[in-house]
Amino acid sequence: MSNFAPVIKCKKCGGTFQPDLKTKGKWICPNCQAKNANLKRHYRSVADLIILGLIATVIFILIGFKQRGLDFGLILTAAHAVLLLVTIVFVYKSKAPWEDTTTKTLIWVVFGLALSFNVFIPLLTIGILNIPVLVIYTIIFPYLFWLNAQANKCIVTSSATGVN
């Protein structure tokens, strides 16, 4: 499995090709020269956002532990930090995260939980709406939907490769 080379479908011509996973630029289709989104770079950008969330979560844990000691909320936050770390590892270890259902699911779970923890739960429990965090997620979620749509467009099905 170490020789695995992902194949994607061109968004313009529908032809399949192996993208250059080392390039940071767009993936150029050899058939029609169309520029396709570099999904590996985009998924790594999402992982970078998760790294920022992990750093903020660890800081929050350290401050909370110093102020309150160990409590249930801190244990849940630590569990979320572990989920963040696992997601980062899955994204960076995967050669084709856009094809990996586990990785894509982890990303959605991480951002869904983060939105719940930072916006919905504070709003429902103490009546405070965190506007700056809501604005951040208003930017992140459309990007995640776009990335998911791009990934779904380029995934090569068995009928496209001729494999039954």
| pLDDT value, residue 4 | 66
| pLDDT value, residue 153 | 86
Number of independent structural domains in the chain: 2
Q: Examine the domain organization and report whether 45 and 121 are in the same domain.
A: yes
Q: Examine the domain organization and report whether 13 and 50 are in the same domain.
A: no
Q: Examine the domain organization and report whether 29 and 60 are in the same domain.
A: no
| pLDDT value, residue 63 | 94
Task: State how far the Cα of 154 lies from the Cα of 99, in Å rounded to an integer.
Answer: 9
Full residue range of the structural domain in which residue 9 is found: 1-37
Whether 51 maps to a domain, the answer reads yes
- Two tokens at 61? 């844990």
Q: Examine the domain organization and report whether 53 and 130 are in the same domain.
A: yes
Q: What is the pLDDT of residues 61-107, one digit of tens each?
A: 999 999 988 888 899 999 999 999 999 999 999 989 999 999 999 99
Q: Examine the domain organization and report whether 121 and 107 are in the same domain.
A: yes
Helix and strand totals (H; E) in the chain: 6, 4
Q: Examine the domain organization and report whether 138 and 84 are in the same domain.
A: yes
What does the DSSP assignment read for the chain?
-TT----EE-TTT--EE---TT-SSPEEPTTT--EE--HHHHHHHHHHHHHHHHHHHHHHHHHHHHHH-S-HHHHHHHHHHHHHHHHHHHHHH-S-TTT-HHHHHHHHHHHHHHHIIIIIHHHHHH----HHHHHHHHHHHHHHHHHHHHHHHHBPPHHHHT--
pTM for the full model? Answer: 0.83
| pLDDT value, residue 12 | 86
Stated as kind and residue range, the H or E segment containing 35 is strand 35-36
In this prediction, the residues of the chain whose per-residue pLDDT falls under 70 are 1-4, 158-164
Q: Examine the domain organization and report whether 82 and 138 are in the same domain.
A: yes
Whether 74 maps to a domain, the answer reads yes
